[in-house]
Chain A
Amino acid sequence: MDASPAEMARLAGQRPPRPRRRLPPWAISWIQVSPLALILFVLFAAPTGLFAVVSFFDYDRVGIYPAFLLDNYKDLFTTPATWRIYVSSLRFAVIVWAITLFLGFNIAQFLVFHVRTARVRILLFMLCAIPFWTSAIIRTIAWIPFLGRNGAFNTMLMELHLASHPLDFLLFSDFSVILTYVHLYTLLMIGPIANSLSKIDPALLEAARDSGASRFQILRWIVIPLARTGIALGSILVFTQVMGDYFVVKRMSGGQSASIVSALSTEIQAMQYPPASANAVVLVVFVAILVGLMMRVVDVRKELVS
């Protein structure tokens, strides 16, 4: 086993093969990941660094000028609208997170523990996943004819005599915003949680049952702790999607409220890049802190890569 191919060839009296320079394993890995690394550095890390720098620049109506000013941040934090938007986005994020977590966890449980054949499980999972591969814009506006004053839902209520007049709060309200978010993002919970649950050894659950654990105790002390990676990953995805939302609030709230990003895009359209950049930096730091807190719960990397 210790003899290298070259030595073996020599022992066998043959000419040794052309000596090949073998790269160390980490160098092979570097070559394999280098295109990914290059693209992410040039197109993600560098532009992020760029707007962090621009956030300190000076600007007027015609251009932006290199400087080191804190005015953009000062303006941002002293505007009451900023705080209002952050509070309202965070409120949406928390509500949507709670609903998608409930739905996602229970649907994942059903798929993994209750469906008995792999064929049905894959079919149901595909049914949940397919809408995710279709346009988010179309899925957002699809609610309009459903929820509107003369929409399908109101018509149905009236025909069934459950309501005497159309319900107005359904569309262009906080309700329709939350509904749309849940519609768009529940899959982001189902996927990671189902992945975590499918790694649980069924023997573990059987052992708990045999030892007299109740259904609730199994859920509380075995299933939820073992699903925490999926829960954390799903929570991160849902939270960041809602905080970074661009068009759901704009389309579905009826113009009563803005999201952080849609407010920022107004500044971009006005070519006010430095204040827009400051706004972007604050949002990124805010999201990074939230994600960092959730990552503390679990080592997502260890669970994913291994």
Chain B
Amino acid sequence: MAARKPARAREPRPFTFYLLGGLMGLFLLFLYGPMVIIYLLSFQGPNGGVTFPMVGVSTKWFADIVKPGQMANIPVSFGRSIELAVVVCILTVVISFAAGLGFRRRFPGAALLFYIAIASLVMPSLLVGFGIGLGFQMLDLPQGLFTSALGAQLTWTLPFGLLTMFAVVARFNRSYEEAATDLGATPWQRLRWVTIPILLPGIIGVAVGAFTLSYDEYARTTLTIGSYNTLPLEIYALISSDSTPVLFAIGTVTTAVSFLLIGVTLVFITRMQRRRRVRI
């Protein structure tokens, strides 16, 4: 491969490369342009409004988020969102990892379960929440963060986790497992020392995905949350009532939390892969 590389690099690029590359660049601009504007506007001066021009620069709107008063619900709901996301993340990883392993063999009902998972993924989200909320109401069960809302979010993160696990498991060479068995490993030892370490990057991918999907979830949660809102629900309520840059400040902060998580994970996975390469 290494010997071929210089020869390939000298090959002239076809015109479609520039065409598609241009499209890619424009798409990235389109993807990030509006986001950058709200990040900028969240540093709007104290007398500025929700559009340009910037009237000075300040961090007033960030301070407003944590100031006791009309925004008091934001820090609390942020805490709730994080708690829920952690629980959703752990359950999604464990359950979809087990299911991903289960789907490697044929078993009666595999097709049915697969289609139910797909249906759960593509079902209009609000309807899932509606069904669960209705069920809880009719059975007189208490609706709340770790009952109905947790359940509603799992119907969204589990199919996502399962599909990711399919992609991860498909690239997994089973002869490693066979070798472990041949060398006398028990099924648990094989899982603990062979399967999980090899699949770890994919598992971490599922964890980050589940966490962020839960942390940003709105449509499935809104009808199942009971009386205490998560952060996205608070933000949604604010959109209609508040027209100051504080909304953008919240947007900047929540995006920063997501980015931080993704960044830490990427660094972690890259390090892990580099270390493995060295070891081999």
Contact = CB atoms under 8 A, between A and B. Distances in A.
A237 interface: yes
B103 interface: yes
Contacts of B275: none
A116 interface: yes
Interface string A41-68: 1111111101100100000000000000
Contact of B95 (A29, A36, A47, A264): A36
A186 B94 CA distance: 29
Contacts of B250: 138
A247 B51 contact: no
Given A103-B27, A134-B258, A148-B51, A33 B107 contact: yes
B274 interface: no
Contact of B108 (A26, A35, A39, A243): A26
Contacts of B158: 36, 39-40
Contacts of B98: 32-33, 35-36
Interface string A133-153: 111111101111110101110
A305 B232 CA distance: 34
A103 B27 CA distance: 8
A47 B135 contact: yes
Contacts, number: 266
Interface in B160-201: 162-163, 166-167, 170
Given A30-B107, A39-B95, A135 B255 contact: yes
B98 to A, nearest CB: 5
B151 A183 contact: no
A257 interface: no
Given A32-B98, A48-B131, A51-B127, A145 B52 contact: yes
Nearest to A245: B124
A95 interface: no
Interface in A261-287: 261, 264-265, 268, 273, 276-277, 280, 283-284, 287
Contacts of A133: 208-209, 212-213, 216, 258, 262
Given A40-B113, A51-B134, A284 B251 contact: no
A131 interface: yes
A305 B103 CA distance: 7
Contacts of A109: 20
A130 interface: yes
Nearest to B136: A47
A82 interface: no
B123 A244 contact: yes
A49 to B, nearest CB: 8
Contact of B155 (A37, A43, A110): A43
A142 B35 CA distance: 6
A103 B23 contact: yes
B254 to A, nearest CB: 6
A227 interface: no
Interface residues of B, number: 94
A13 interface: no
B20 A146 contact: no
B82 interface: no
Contacts of A280: 124, 127, 130-131
Nearest to A142: B34
Interface in B63-115: 94-96, 98-99, 101-111, 113-115
Candidate in B17, B109, B118, B134 with the most chain A CB atoms within 10 angstroms: B134
Nearest to B148: A43
A244 B99 contact: no
B219 A246 contact: yes
B246 interface: no
A114 interface: yes
B95 A110 contact: no
B132 interface: yes
B120 A244 contact: no
B203 interface: no
A107 B27 contact: yes
Contacts of B109: 30, 37
Contacts of A42: 151
A240 B37 contact: no
B170 A306 contact: yes
A212 interface: no
B235 interface: yes
23 contacts: A29-B102, A33-B99, A35-B95, A40-B116, A41-B116, A47-B130, A114-B13, A133-B208, A133-B212, A134-B216, A134-B254, A134-B255, A135-B218, A135-B255, A136-B218, A138-B251, A138-B255, A141-B38, A146-B37, A186-B31, A261-B124, A280-B124, A304-B166
Interface of B: 8-9, 13-14, 16-17, 20-21, 23-24, 27-28, 30-35, 37-38, 41, 50-52, 94-96, 98-99, 101-111, 113-120, 122-128, 130-132, 134-135, 138, 151-152, 154-155, 158-159, 162-163, 166-167, 170, 208-209, 212-213, 216, 218-219, 223, 232, 235-236, 239, 247-248, 250-251, 254-255, 258-259, 262, 266
Given A106-B23, A130-B259, A138-B255, 11 more contacts: A33-B103, A44-B131, A47-B134, A50-B134, A109-B20, A137-B236, A143-B34, A146-B37, A246-B125, A261-B126, A287-B123
The 7 closest A-B pairs by CB, nearest first: A244-B124, A47-B131, A32-B102, A29-B107, A110-B20, A33-B102, A240-B122
